[in-house]
Structure 1
């Protein structure tokens, strides 16, 4: 194994560990807040102000409740929350939950993107992307939301895969909410031939798919998964924890799952 490959894998593992530690701390804070809220509710009932507390607690609602939900073109799955890449009839499905501000997601993409593209382009897998705004929740800001909306706008234009890769290739430090600036996302679109049209610019500027992204994040929160990236092959988690996934082992797993099955019908992918 070359030093470069070894360093890359170590960096990916370290980024994943750091991300999971942050998310565990966030989950602990959330549990503490829930317990504290329950105690306040009990005390409020005892002092005759339970109704006021109940009204206060019900004022928030789901983040996806505001605005109409507009899925991007070609979105699939329950409530059209999935962006598919690759042959619709591919024998295996790779499911990825990820956040464009997430450093562990970036490490995963840097290590696995060429392999994923090769498997998509030979009809071996269809990749299903679920866009998440976990870092916005952890650190504040809107970069995860804005980048996911822009990626959905690229899906409208049939250029999701290329723009998805450009975003990760230009990901800032997670503490630098650079993607909150929509002009940054529009400038990155110049790197994808044919993407930056008036329709795309309007979609990014107006946040056309913001409510859809929020609904996708709500779905992630209800899924039982609690970190990004979450990666599944045919419904089974294969990345993180005790799963020492590598590009080579991913290819082997897909080949084993696809044994005896025909490859999917591949259509041309817009140039990146």
Structure 2
């Protein structure tokens, strides 16, 4: 219980000490509701994939390992609309990582950093994903601009990250990953961790 209270306190501190982030929204958010990083917005007659994830979630890393390359092809080949919903319920480093990913979206490096963070995921709230650590990770993923570093260090999108969490709670998202295709949740046993099952669910 003490650990939980400390974690909540740290999260509150992160969210409450960002005076400049109250209205900041990443450039690649969903036009529909402003709560997801969207790829191929406006693409017609294609499947819509919604991925709810926490960057510290080990099962999310497994989902990325299984399906990440295929999802990137769906995006780059314009075969699907893909919405990434960045949740942060595991703790303060989830907030920092989600903020960094939102910053990377402004630089067109979201997919590269997303892949790298899952590939190098450590123990939850272990200190790996401080702002300094995230900036270092981004350099390894090919992103080293001063605007990105400033975005991360200022916590530009932390309030937006909190809003995404509120939306997830309102929609009853209580575990990660949670994945929908055209509004229908996929079957965790057959479609999350089997590439053939996931591919069939998306494109039939």
2:184 equivalent to 1:236: yes
- The alignment's TM-score, normalised by the length of structure 2, stands at 0.84
Counterpart position of 1:12: none
Counterpart position of 2:137: 188
Change in 2 beyond 3 A, CA 1:184/1:235: same
1:1-272 matched pairs, under 5 angstroms: 67=19, 68-86=22-40, 88-89=42-43, 91-136=46-91, 142-174=92-124, 176-179=126-129, 181-193=130-142, 195-240=143-188, 242-245=189-192, 246-256=194-204
Q: Does the 8 A contact of 1:87 with 1:120 survive in 2?
A: no
> What RMSD in Å do the two structures reach over aligned CA positions?
2.1
Q: In proportion to residue count, which structure has more helix?
A: 1
Find the aligned partners of 1:144 and 1:253 in 2 and give their Cα distance. 28
Q: Does the 8 A contact of 2:56 with 2:121 survive in 1?
A: yes
Q: Does the 8 A contact of 2:50 with 2:83 survive in 1?
A: yes
Largest Rg, 1 or 2? 1
In the TM superposition, residue 184 of structure 1 has moved relative to its aligned partner by 0.4
Does 1 or 2 have the higher relative contact order (CA < 8 Å, sep 6+)? 2
Q: Does the 8 A contact of 2:72 with 2:111 survive in 1?
A: no
Instruction: Please give the secondary structure, in 2, of the residue aligned with 1:190.
Output: helix
Unaligned residue ranges in structure 2 (runs of 5+): 5-11
- Farther-moved stretch of structure 1 (153-162 vs 69-78): 69-78
Counterpart position of 2:9: none
In the TM superposition, residue 115 of structure 1 has moved relative to its aligned partner by 1.4
Find the aligned partners of 1:175 and 1:76 in 2 and give their Cα distance. 29
